[in-house]
């Protein structure tokens, strides 16, 4: 099997995911994903699609990620891995991942700051006189 290339995005994070048959190593920016994401919750988010499809230890995954914070990066990687698993074996993986909402791109972005205001929605205190 050749290398499967997919993209995952979340907020400002963009993850390029390269998947091939292997021993189950997950590398993020040339580092082990447990070293890159020290929090267990983020490690769980990254490995969620593999757990749902019972494919842990089957694929070597190499990820290049840029932008965003750690949570957005983890969720971008999750989307990229989910898309790769669907490309590899659509008939068995797509139903499970779609039922758990792993294939949906979360479109929410940070709202921009408006001029004359301290934040996007916050206003300065109004004074009538």
Q: Residues 6 or more apart from 52 whose CB is under 8 A from it?
A: 96, 97, 100, 102
CA 80, CA 76: separation in Å to the nearest integer? 6
Domain-wise residue ranges, the chain: 4-99
Ranges under pLDDT 50 in the chain: none
pLDDT of amino acid 90: 86
Classified by CATH at the fold level, domain 4-99 comes out as: Ribosomal Protein S5; domain 2 (3.30.230)
Strand order in the sheet with 26-28: 4-10, 13-21, 59-66, 26-28, 31-32
Contacts by 102-105 with C-beta closer than 8 Å and gap 24+?
A: 102/48, 102/49, 102/52, 102/78, 103/79, 105/9, 105/10, 105/79
Contact 36, 29 (CB under 8 A): yes
> Residue 33 has what pLDDT?
92
- Which alpha helices (H) appear in the chain, and where do they start and end? 33-36, 40-52, 70-88, 90-99
| pLDDT score, position 28 | 95
Q: Give pLDDT, residue 113.
A: 96
């Amino acid at each position: 099997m050749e290398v499967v290339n997919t993209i995952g995005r979340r907020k400002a994070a963009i993850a390029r995911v390269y998947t091939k048959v292997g021993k189950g190593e997950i590398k993020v920016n040339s580092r082990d994903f447990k070293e890159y994401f020290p929090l267990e919750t983020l490690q769980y988010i990254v490995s969620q699609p593999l757990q749902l499809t019972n494919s842990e230890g089957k694929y070597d995954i190499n990820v290049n990620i840029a932008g965003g914070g750690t949570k957005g990066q983890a969720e971008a990687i999750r989307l990229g891995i989910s898309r790769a698993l669907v490309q590899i074996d659509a008939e068995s993986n797509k139903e499970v991942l779609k039922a758990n909402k792993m294939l949906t791109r979360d479109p929410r972005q940070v709202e921009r700051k408006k001029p004359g205001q301290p934040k996007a929605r916050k206003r300065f205190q109004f004074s009538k006189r």
